[in-house]
Structure 1
Amino acid sequence: MRTQSRRRPRGVLATAAAGTLIAPLLSGCWVGAGGAGSGGDAINVLMVNNSQMVELQKLTADHFTKETGIKVNFTVLPENDVRDKISQDFANQAGQYDVATLSNYEIPIYAKNGWLKEMDPYVAEDTAYDQQDILEPMRQSLTGEDGKLYGQPFYGESSFLMYRKDIFAEKGLTMPARPTWQQVADLAAKADGARPGMKGICLRGLPGWGEVMAPLTTVVNTFGGTWFDKDWKARLDSPEWKKAVNFYVDLVREHGESGAPQAGFAECLNNLTQGKVAMWYDATSAAGSLEADGSPVAGKIGYAPAPVEETESSGWLYTWAWGIQNASRNPDNAWKFVSWASSKEYEQLAGEKVGWSNIPAGKRASTYANPDYRAEASAFQEMTKLAIEQARPDDPGVQPRPAPGIQFVGIPEFTDLGTKVSQEISAAIAGRQSVEEALKKSQQLAEEIAEEYEGR
């Protein structure tokens, strides 16, 4: 990551809205740890309760524990709750949990605060792990400012454009190989009403730093905007921001889904699956659900790169990854679990046990050479890999940035700032205020953060 000279941010990482919604969440539950510290051959793992993590939990005892003798006590919680609990335990270095699920947003921040154990020595010794097989943007995003590695990805995603091939054929529409946002807007207008009640496109409008702000920030980036310039001056009132947000708001209001101000990842997934929209720009991980057995649109969806304007690519980058707490009493056993849970071996196991379309993909080059995975994910696997490989977390726009991140700004304050700005944008989508009013308020919010960083 880019080395920055600035004052250490105040406090610990804010724990506001969830990050990118990657998979349908299951109900939260407490499993195993029960407050007991790790010891002996046991480790405690605190993780988010998405479906692929829950599958991992089910497979651990009969495979990892059986092979290593290391018992794993899982605490499994919904995303907002797990972020809160992780930040408390890791900030205090309480050592209750040896391993936790962290995203590429938290890991560089946690590493800077000294909360995570460096993984380079383990990688150097564990030649079977094959660190070079991890896709380069994933390795980069889990590296601290000191150039050291602090996380291993469980799975990863970028973003791309999904569209109904059959609707496009019926309407005589052609998706460009590398669409611009203006071309997407034109296609949305032509696809609007192609079927009774069908709208041209679905775009998130739900408030949240990981909801509407995720796709919208990628639009801002490719339209030439940035949250902060290299000197930490807030730029939300710039012409580029105004152009990008007006474009996004106008598109979703004119040709987007009904109820857009309340629509997030889950709602747009349902809209495309149920034939209510012809296009959707969102996470690459959505493709697994669209192509799943029983999906009414399986085989009908085409995939195109994230639309651009002034940049060569614009897809975001996100991963749920494993971090080891610096205060862990069992770091060596923790690494053994982390290396297994992010390994080629585990992907093979998951493919055999739960199906290849449900493996935690998006992190290893070898996944995309695996004939079993390629056969089951043929509709989207190449486009997903390309989107991840083209993601540029340190250089996502047209100007230098003071902090890493594509769909977020890699500072602790962003969870609160992004959520507040998202509320203003969502209000503009709902027609309760103008884009100009929304951005004026948002600029003031960003200036408060900029004051903490300017000149440092």
Structure 2
Amino acid sequence: MRTQSRRRPRATLAAVAAGTLLAPLLSGCWAGAGGAGSGGDSLNVLMVNNPQMTELQKLTADHFTRETGIKVSFTVLPENDVRDKISQDFANQAGQYDVATLSNYEIPIYARNGWLRSMDPYVAKDAAYDEQDVLEPMRESLTGDDGALYGQPFYGESSFLMYRKDVFAAKGLTMPAHPTWRQVADLAAKADGAEPGMKGICLRGLPGWGEVMAPLTTVVNTFGGAWFDKDWKARLDSPEFEKATEFYVGLVRAHGESGAAQSGFAECLNNMTQGKVAMWYDATSAAGSLEAAKSPVKGKMGYAPAPVERTRSSGWLYTWAWGIQKASRNPDKAWKFVSWASGKQYEQLVGEKSGWSNVPAGKRASTYENAAYRAEAAAFQDMTRQAIEAARPNAPGLQPRPAPGIQFVGIPEFTDLGTRVSQEISAAIAGRQSVTSALRKSQKMAERISEEYEGR
């Protein structure tokens, strides 16, 4: 039996680890600055610099401020930078920022530490916001241990399989309505070389807890594996985890993109757009780029559910959401901003001003009933909604989990653990070590987390 180290309180662990909360999907430049604290009729909002957020920044003054009289000062930063800044301000309850963009990874952790204000009282009094219109998996993923809501989604995504319909037709291949990973591997082998320089599939191999570990963990889930069992025993050395990892690494090495160990979301998007791969398993949000007006593959793409092995579904769940700092000086006005930015009215505004393909979708049932949105996103909108609604953050695999999360484990320590494990997996994809060796090292890292959490 392993010797147990002296355990620190869970709240302490969360606070210590919070400063390392990172995610890998976006990058960009500084684009604004908040003041030294809000007050009166002003708010400070700290947010990630993705295109849909910067669109909101452009629309706020002429619409939200004009309607409410509330001035909003934005600080817009790249993802890793914004997470660091949010964790510092919220952990210290400095109150400099009233509202910040947080994902469904951070919100339950921040709520547990008392850094966020519950939105339940506001939702109860704001019938126009229509909380029940928010897709259930999104509401569930933004709920704290106490059952209260601590976030409202700006947009959401799951994962699915994207493939070239024209390439499949030319090769006489048929995508099953609900593919298994074994079927996908067979299709990847047959599509490999279908066009000059084309590989069968693109799968992330770039190190990062939100890069290679995001899709790989969904494969682990559906193969019957888990990072930890319900008692916090590390399970990276289990047969199921090893089988899934061997499959993923073997598939991308045999039929995946060139330079797979350095390929993340952005690289796979480029490969798919440029006709270098026949299939791609990744975020549902990628479909908007593939079907954009100037995309070379617009109209050529097909979409299928995330492949499975032993589970009924396997897509991940992710959302950028708004959280209100508990120390905010203007919580009521902060809610007005959140309800506007996450509400039906804002989606309508974006649709009219920028086109329905730019609407921050993936969060509301009414979006998928809107005729204008359905027409513009016809190729992928049904599949996206189905993927999100099928996601089960609290039960993503075959066995009970000690913490929520599909493509991550919902504890502060996962950012470091997941990143370090991803480096070992990426090295296996690059051929520098075996999967067995990578998982042996990874298991030892995970066991250190087990020692802190076991018995709780």
TM-score normalized with structure 2 length: 0.97
Equivalent residue number for residue 72 of structure 1? 72
Alpha-carbon shift at residue 354 of structure 1 (Å) = 1.1
Which residue identity lines up with residue 380 of structure 1 in the other structure? Answer: F
Equivalent residue number for residue 31 of structure 2? 29
Q: What do the CA deviations read for 1:334-360 (whole angstroms, capped 9, x no partner)?
A: 000000000000000011111110110
Q: Distance in 2 between matches of 1:433 and 1:317?
A: 31
Q: What do the CA deviations read for 1:184-220 (whole angstroms, capped 9, x no partner)?
A: 0000000000000000000000000000000000000
Q: Tell me whether 1:19 sits opposite 2:23 in the alignment.
A: yes
Are the equivalent residues in 1 in contact too, given 2:22–2:84 (CA < 8 A)?
no
Q: Distance in 2 between matches of 1:8 and 1:51?
A: 34
Are the equivalent residues in 2 in contact too, given 1:16–1:80 (CA < 8 A)?
no
What is the DSSP-based 3-state SS (H/G/I as helix, E as strand, rest coil) of the residue aligned with 2:323?
strand
Are the equivalent residues in 1 in contact too, given 2:107–2:150 (CA < 8 A)?
yes
Task: Provide structure 1 residue ranges, at least 5 long, that are not aligned to the other structure.
Answer: 1-5
Q: Distance in 2 between matches of 1:390 and 1:52?
A: 25
Q: What do the CA deviations read for 1:376-428 (whole angstroms, capped 9, x no partner)?
A: 00000000000000000000000000000000000000000000000000000
Q: What do the CA deviations read for 1:49-85 (whole angstroms, capped 9, x no partner)?
A: 0000000000000000000000000000000000000
Which residue identity lines up with residue 28 of structure 1 in the other structure? Answer: W
Which residue identity lines up with residue 120 of structure 1 in the other structure? Answer: D
Are the equivalent residues in 2 in contact too, given 1:213–1:422 (CA < 8 A)?
yes
The one of 6, 11, 17 aligned to 1:8: 11
Q: Distance in 1 between matches of 2:180 and 2:211?
A: 22
Q: Tell me whether 1:407 sits opposite 2:407 in the alignment.
A: yes
1:241-320 equivalence runs, <5 A: 241-320=241-320
Equivalent residue number for residue 333 of structure 1? 333
Equivalent residue number for residue 432 of structure 1? 432
Q: Distance in 2 between matches of 1:29 and 1:442?
A: 38
Change in 2 beyond 3 A, CA 1:25/1:359: farther
Q: Distance in 2 between matches of 1:41 and 1:222?
A: 49
Q: Distance in 2 between matches of 1:309 and 1:324?
A: 39
Are the equivalent residues in 2 in contact too, given 1:14–1:416 (CA < 8 A)?
no
Q: Distance in 2 between matches of 1:190 and 1:149?
A: 47
Equivalent residue number for residue 46 of structure 1? 46
Alpha-carbon shift at residue 13 of structure 1 (Å) = 3.9
Equivalent residue number for residue 123 of structure 1? 123
Change in 2 beyond 3 A, CA 1:18/1:76: same
Q: Distance in 1 between matches of 2:19 and 2:273?
A: 31
What is the DSSP-based 3-state SS (H/G/I as helix, E as strand, rest coil) of the residue aligned with 1:8?
helix
Alpha-carbon shift at residue 14 of structure 1 (Å) = 3.9
Equivalent residue number for residue 199 of structure 1? 199
Q: Distance in 2 between matches of 1:15 and 1:428?
A: 29
What is the DSSP-based 3-state SS (H/G/I as helix, E as strand, rest coil) of the residue aligned with 1:197?
coil
Are the equivalent residues in 2 in contact too, given 1:26–1:51 (CA < 8 A)?
no
Task: Provide structure 2 residue ranges, at least 5 long, that are not aligned to the other structure.
Answer: 1-8
Q: Distance in 1 between matches of 2:10 and 2:47?
A: 31
Alpha-carbon shift at residue 177 of structure 1 (Å) = 0.3
Change in 2 beyond 3 A, CA 1:419/1:14: farther
Q: What do the CA deviations read for 1:102-143 (whole angstroms, capped 9, x no partner)?
A: 000000000000000000000000010000000000000000
Q: Tell me the matched-pair count.
A: 447
TM-score normalized with structure 1 length: 0.97
Task: Please tell me the root mean square deviation across aligned C-alpha atoms, in Å.
Answer: 1.1
Are the equivalent residues in 2 in contact too, given 1:25–1:51 (CA < 8 A)?
no
Which residue identity lines up with residue 87 of structure 1 in the other structure? Answer: S
Which residue identity lines up with residue 134 of structure 2 in the other structure? Answer: I
Are the equivalent residues in 2 in contact too, given 1:230–1:401 (CA < 8 A)?
yes
Which residue identity lines up with residue 90 of structure 2 in the other structure? Answer: F
Alpha-carbon shift at residue 28 of structure 1 (Å) = 2.4
Alpha-carbon shift at residue 20 of structure 1 (Å) = 6.1
Q: Distance in 1 between matches of 2:117 and 2:56?
A: 23
Equivalent residue number for residue 6 of structure 2? none
Are the equivalent residues in 1 in contact too, given 2:165–2:302 (CA < 8 A)?
yes
Which residue identity lines up with residue 407 of structure 2 in the other structure? Answer: Q
Q: Distance in 2 between matches of 1:18 and 1:288?
A: 25
Alpha-carbon shift at residue 16 of structure 1 (Å) = 4.7
Are the equivalent residues in 1 in contact too, given 2:44–2:97 (CA < 8 A)?
yes
- Identity among equivalent positions (%) equals 81
Q: Distance in 2 between matches of 1:394 and 1:325?
A: 25
Which residue identity lines up with residue 452 of structure 1 in the other structure? Answer: E
Equivalent residue number for residue 152 of structure 2? 152
Alpha-carbon shift at residue 36 of structure 1 (Å) = 1.7
Q: Distance in 1 between matches of 2:202 and 2:48?
A: 27
What is the DSSP-based 3-state SS (H/G/I as helix, E as strand, rest coil) of the residue aligned with 2:304?
strand
Equivalent residue number for residue 4 of structure 2? none
Q: What do the CA deviations read for 1:306-333 (whole angstroms, capped 9, x no partner)?
A: 0000000000000000000000000000
What is the DSSP-based 3-state SS (H/G/I as helix, E as strand, rest coil) of the residue aligned with 1:100?
strand
Equivalent residue number for residue 174 of structure 1? 174
Alpha-carbon shift at residue 29 of structure 1 (Å) = 1.9
Are the equivalent residues in 1 in contact too, given 2:21–2:84 (CA < 8 A)?
no
Alpha-carbon shift at residue 25 of structure 1 (Å) = 4.6
Q: Distance in 2 between matches of 1:18 and 1:345?
A: 31
What is the DSSP-based 3-state SS (H/G/I as helix, E as strand, rest coil) of the residue aligned with 2:11?
coil
Which residue identity lines up with residue 294 of structure 1 in the other structure? Answer: K
Alpha-carbon shift at residue 15 of structure 1 (Å) = 4.7
What is the DSSP-based 3-state SS (H/G/I as helix, E as strand, rest coil) of the residue aligned with 1:270?
helix
Change in 2 beyond 3 A, CA 1:18/1:353: farther
